[in-house]
A and B are shown apart, each in its own frame.
Chain A
């Protein structure tokens, strides 16, 4: 059901090679290292400055201090530090000034402020680089895992359809191969049959819709002969064989209880895949093991509505659907060979279907269905 024309799938690896991303990441890491070194240096300045402030603050506490005066490289002489409140401060650029201890502390604290602001800006830079580096590394790992980028045009007409397929696609992306699919051949066959049934049902509904629109009050031929409908199906299949675009089929026969669609309708296209493989098989019998949740719900609604007359058919299907397979959309073969039937549903039905298709577990359709039926 996923028409390839609708979206593009690009492996991330083809956009950014893993190696390149790693290189970029390591380059940025290097830069971060350099900045870190710079920051450590500044931090050291800050510490030294704090120590100096402490010292200068203590100096004027006493009139003189007894100290060891360095004399040359090796020798120390005992000495005495006087004028404890006088400092000769280097302002920078070889300018010095005589200052009191208090004034010196002011100068030093001003210096501390400038260094702190430098550290702050450096930190911001490092943060920037780190986000960059993490981006590169994630890109690299994504490329290595073979993640794919899926782009799809948004089409309002098929909004709901897109929604459901989008949810399904996301689950598909998690596969390491990044490509949807992976159904077994057995599943495929079953899917085919199911899809045929479903497409026929949808077709019937579409016919109802059609006739409802025409305001045509044709009879209540709910259980019209299977053969005639099969013909229609075949005809559609012939038309749309090998095509991928949506085909609107407008069959004339088999109106089914259009009277029940009296409430306002919301039109939504549901595209069903009609596989080529067993065109002549009787569709109401045998081997319907898989089901598309969405259409199944549609069918349910339909069958509920026409429960009086159509009980037999719906019960058949109920019995024959032990496994639910909500992802027939990913069968590439079908997407190519199937014909597509479009139909309109009433709003309630559709919401049901939508919900079911995105939420439903693939394993227990029958119980679900039965619960609904009761």
Chain B
């Protein structure tokens, strides 16, 4: 009787852990997507920065804000783009760190699940013998 109780507990445990693992996996997938987006933005910003560097001092630079083009100083635009690149790089780094963290968690979860499964199998084997 107690063994069946333990078995049920283990089952529940396994279910919980599986759910958590699924959550982690979803998070990781989200993280990947975000990373991809940021990488693309980074590439675009770098292109812009290159072009801005190539512009002559008195060139007209505009930024599209909503429906209007706002004229901007070249130096200002340049600084803005640089800042944006810095921000994106930092963000990518952060995402990397969290991704690593999540993957570690995911692996440990997976191991825990394996252990629980083994326990369940052992109990079932014991039952089969008895």
Residues in chain A within 8 A of chain B (CB atoms):
88, 91-99, 106-107, 110-111, 114
Residues 31-68 of chain B, each 1 if its beta carbon lies under 8 Å from chain A, else 0: 00000000001001101101110110001111111000
Contact B84 A93 (CB under 8 A): yes
Complex Cα distance A327/B52, Å? Answer: 79
Known: A91-B47, A95-B48, A98-B59. 8 other contacts (CB 8 A): A88-B62, A94-B65, A95-B52, A95-B64, A96-B62, A97-B62, A98-B62, A106-B54
Complex Cα distance A99/B63, Å? Answer: 15
Complex Cα distance A91/B64, Å? Answer: 11
Q: Is B81 engaged at the interface, CB distance under 8 Å to the other chain?
A: yes
Complex Cα distance A360/B21, Å? Answer: 65
Number of A-B contacts (CB under 8 A): 50
Q: Is B77 engaged at the interface, CB distance under 8 Å to the other chain?
A: yes
Contacts of B61 in A (CB 8 A): 95-97
Contact A97 B81 (CB under 8 A): no
Contact B81 A93 (CB under 8 A): yes
Contacts of B59 in A (CB 8 A): 97-99
Contact A91 B60 (CB under 8 A): no
Complex Cα distance A110/B60, Å? Answer: 20
Complex Cα distance A106/B59, Å? Answer: 15
Within 8 A of A (CB), among B56-115: 59-65, 69, 72, 77, 81, 84
Which secondary structure dominates where chain B touches chain A?
helix
Contacts of A88 in B (CB 8 A): 62
9 A-B interface contacts by CB (under 8 A): A91-B51, A91-B52, A92-B48, A93-B41, A93-B44, A94-B64, A95-B52, A97-B52, A114-B47
Contacts of B84 in A (CB 8 A): 93
Contact B81 A95 (CB under 8 A): yes
Contacts of B48 in A (CB 8 A): 91-93, 95
Complex Cα distance A92/B64, Å? Answer: 10
* Given A97-B61, A98-B60, also A92-B45 (CB < 8 A): yes
Contact B47 A95 (CB under 8 A): no
Closest residue of B by beta carbon distance from A93: B48
* Given A93-B44, A93-B81, A93-B84, also A107-B51 (CB < 8 A): yes
Within 8 A of A (CB), among B13-27: none
Complex Cα distance A91/B51, Å? Answer: 7
Q: Which 10 A-B pairs give the minimum distances between C-beta atoms?
A: A98-B60, A94-B64, A96-B62, A92-B48, A92-B44, A91-B48, A91-B51, A97-B61, A93-B48, A92-B47
Complex Cα distance A92/B77, Å? Answer: 12
Contacts of A92 in B (CB 8 A): 44-45, 47-48, 51
Contacts of A94 in B (CB 8 A): 63-65
Complex Cα distance A117/B60, Å? Answer: 30
Closest residue of A by beta carbon distance from B43: A114
Complex Cα distance A92/B40, Å? Answer: 11
Contacts of A111 in B (CB 8 A): 47
* Given A107-B51, A114-B47, also A95-B63 (CB < 8 A): yes
